[in-house]
Structure 1
Amino acid sequence: MARITPMRRFLVSLIRSPLLWGAVATAVLYRLIPVLPVYRELAERYLCGHPLEYATTALFLLAMATLVLKLLRVRREWQALETMPVLDSSVFRAAGAQDRAKELQAKLTTAGEPLAHSELGRRIRDVCDFVRGRGSAEGLEEHLKYLAELAAERLHRSYALVRTVTWAVPILGFLGTVVGITMAIAKVTPEQLDTSLDQVTGGLAVAFDTTALALTLSLLLVFASFVVERAEQLLLARVEEFGSKQLLLLFPPDPPSVGRALLSAEQEAAQKLLQQTDTLIRQQAKLWSDGLESLRVRWQETLESQQSQLQRALQQSLQTTVQAHAESVHATQAELLDAVRAVSGELKETLQRWQNAVNENNRGLQDLHAELRSQAEVLLVISRETDRLNRLQAALAENLQIVRAAETFEQTLHSLSAAVHLLTARTRPSSLVADAGASEAPGAQKAA
């Protein structure tokens, strides 16, 4: 088998570390949340709403990474167990227990890393070391039981991180409840109840969202750890079955001797000492576990009492705030009613004054109407007299024209008479005078 260097051992332990894969899973999850095609708002609300939700999710992914790594290891263990050939005395050349242990250990070394680093490979190496160190197969059955107990103890210890996270996740949820209720109480202001209601509900949302997330993740962890632990227990049971059915038959016990009896007594005393030491360790572990459990119970009771006190304080504060708000509303309503009544009285008085003014205006309009009627009658009389005056003026104009015509005719007669006197005064022949008078007479008549 190739020698494992410290750098390779460090890289292998780093790759198998749940802290690394838990951190990677957390980073990938929060990297994918903004680009989720579905349920993005739900994921942002329950996974990104508060720092406690980040912490709860990170712890959950750490525990899940631990379970996934254990599940992968169980799968490799089952594959190694299935590839293990049946161990029979016919396949070994040596007949003694020590020689068979050396030969079996050599075959295990050449079988490959998957089998050599599996639980079955470790069990075979432990059995071979026990047989080679003791020199016989005596006490192998008790040693197999002891190895089974150690394997069960290692299995129990390997779930310490998962159990711690399973216990811590609900505590974080309760802590989020306390923080959310504290935020809600801190943001309640009786003077600004309407405006601070959104902030109060936001704090309560943080409280209940963190609790719901913590309980859900804790439930998932419980079921997942149960499935993985059950698979590992089945694997250990299969390894125990292999040890009892093949390894015990492969190493038959040697006949007893005096030296072997002394060695057996020493080994029995050492075994009893180991058992007593193991019993003391188990008792101390049980006491420590009981102490932690009582501490957890007291812490949970303290949290529940604080939660109930916070709820009562919140209810009392809300009742006081609501009562003060109701009293303020009643006082405002009374002031509003008084103001409405005062305005109604003033409006009534104003309307009464307007009604009186309108009545006075109506009476003034009636007087004005009567005056206008009298003025209209006067205007009608004036119109009639104007018509008569126009007719008289027309008649006067006609008379003036007649008078002008008479004056013109009189002037014409005077002109004719002057002409006649002038003609008679001249010394012209009488015939010419007579002819002239005869010719001018018709013209004068025509002119007249």
Structure 2
Amino acid sequence: MAILSRNKGIFSLDFLVPNVGLLVSILIVEAYFSLVVRPHVAELEITQRLSAAQQSDDEAKVAPRSIYIIIKDPEQEVELMLWLWATIILTYKLVEVGRERGLLRHDFIGVRQGERIIPEDALDRYKELKTSVEATPRWRERLLPDFLLAALHRFQATNSVQDAASAVKERAELVADNLDSELSLIRYIAWAIPAVGFIGTVRGIGDALSHADEAIKGDLSGVVSALGLAFNSTLVALILSMILMYMLHMLQSRQEALILELQNYCREKLVHIMRVPQREAQRRED
């Protein structure tokens, strides 16, 4: 059962999405560079050489800027692979948040108007809800049923409404920590993209220095090309990092909102209708 679980095992979505996503991002970006970027760059370079040969020495030689020239180097290709990989993971997690929120529209408890849940009924409702969850594939291992089951189990075991509310809060804190830890890979990618850009900057500057002799003789083509790598790799990395960090912020906001909505659902639909007759009778006597 652990292998088939959504959260455990090598056949789970939480394992497959990051690993398959990495493979897919590599294939897509490499195919795009092979079929689109490199042919366009080769064509642009030929056009620039022909244009330079036709220009007189006193004419300005301004090379046209192209997105293909900016992203043509290996560093930019790796940056795009990492960004697409993170985007695939983020998209999957956003879809999961949407599925969890979709369950908030369902009434899992099924309590009639004015009806209350007492400790003697909690076990039966626990078994009934657990059977319904196991019989419905889209409810399995979802957060909301898990929260409700935890509250019912605690209420039946302790005869305390406060303990049931504490069970919901503890479950929410555990889920929040788990969701935050699952974002560690995306945070690493968000750090790795600028790091690759700085590697390109260092490589470009080093390559430019190696063409210093040619620059002294008046041939600046090698220096210009190397500096293009140095600046373009950092430019692409910073742009992709800003986009990725915004997407990460949006995901975290939705996850935090989801946890609050789950807690509110449990309080309104379950905890607030729990009663302990003996304690209420004691309060009346006091």
Q: TM-score, normalised by structure 1?
A: 0.49
Query: Which residue is 2:131 aligned to?
Result: 106
Question: Is residue 162 of structure 2 the alignment partner of residue 165 of structure 1?
Answer: no
Question: Is residue 127 of structure 2 the alignment partner of residue 130 of structure 1?
Answer: no
RMSD: 3.1
Runs (5+) with no aligned partner, structure 1? 257-448
Task: Please say if residues 123 and 147 of structure 1, whose CA atoms lie closer than 8 Å, have aligned partners that are also in contact.
Answer: yes
Task: Please say if residues 71 and 232 of structure 2, whose CA atoms lie closer than 8 Å, have aligned partners that are also in contact.
Answer: no
Alignment of 1:55-74 (within 5 A): 55-74=78-97
2:258 aligns with one of 218, 235, 255: 235
Alignment of 1:48-447 (within 5 A): 48-50=72-74, 52-85=75-108, 87-88=110-111, 90=115, 95-110=120-135, 112-134=136-158, 137-189=161-213, 193-195=217-219, 197-253=220-276, 255=278
Task: Please say if residues 18 and 69 of structure 1, whose CA atoms lie closer than 8 Å, have aligned partners that are also in contact.
Answer: no
In the alignment, the residues of structure 2 paired with residue 92 and residue 134 of structure 1 have an alpha-carbon distance, to the nearest angstrom, of: 14
Question: What SS is found at the alignment partner of 2:79?
Answer: helix
Task: Please say if residues 116 and 275 of structure 2, whose CA atoms lie closer than 8 Å, have aligned partners that are also in contact.
Answer: no
1:142, distance to aligned residue in structure 2 (A): 2.1
In the alignment, the residues of structure 1 paired with residue 67 and residue 107 of structure 2 have an alpha-carbon distance, to the nearest angstrom, of: 46
In the alignment, the residues of structure 2 paired with residue 5 and residue 190 of structure 1 have an alpha-carbon distance, to the nearest angstrom, of: 64
In the alignment, the residues of structure 1 paired with residue 242 and residue 14 of structure 2 have an alpha-carbon distance, to the nearest angstrom, of: 29
Q: Percent identity?
A: 21
1:178, distance to aligned residue in structure 2 (A): 1.7
Q: TM-score, normalised by structure 2?
A: 0.74
> Aligned pair count?
249
Post-superposition Cα deviations, 1:239-259, rounded to whole Å, max 9, x if no partner, equal 111111112134334646xxx
Q: Describe the shift of the 1:98–1:83 C-alpha distance in structure 2 as closer, same or farther (beyond 3 A).
A: closer
Q: Describe the shift of the 1:18–1:47 C-alpha distance in structure 2 as closer, same or farther (beyond 3 A).
A: farther
In the alignment, the residues of structure 2 paired with residue 47 and residue 174 of structure 1 have an alpha-carbon distance, to the nearest angstrom, of: 15
Query: Which residue is 2:17 aligned to?
Result: 17
Task: Please say if residues 97 and 251 of structure 1, whose CA atoms lie closer than 8 Å, have aligned partners that are also in contact.
Answer: no
Q: Please tell me whether Structure 1 or Structure 2 has the larger radius of gyration of its CA atoms.
A: 1
In the alignment, the residues of structure 2 paired with residue 191 and residue 229 of structure 1 have an alpha-carbon distance, to the nearest angstrom, of: 50
Runs (5+) with no aligned partner, structure 2? 42-65, 280-286
Higher RCO (CA < 8 A, seq sep 6+): 2
1:166, distance to aligned residue in structure 2 (A): 1.3
In the alignment, the residues of structure 1 paired with residue 215 and residue 249 of structure 2 have an alpha-carbon distance, to the nearest angstrom, of: 53
In the alignment, the residues of structure 2 paired with residue 15 and residue 160 of structure 1 have an alpha-carbon distance, to the nearest angstrom, of: 14
Q: Describe the shift of the 1:48–1:131 C-alpha distance in structure 2 as closer, same or farther (beyond 3 A).
A: farther
Post-superposition Cα deviations, 1:119-160, rounded to whole Å, max 9, x if no partner, equal 212212332343455465451222222222222222221221
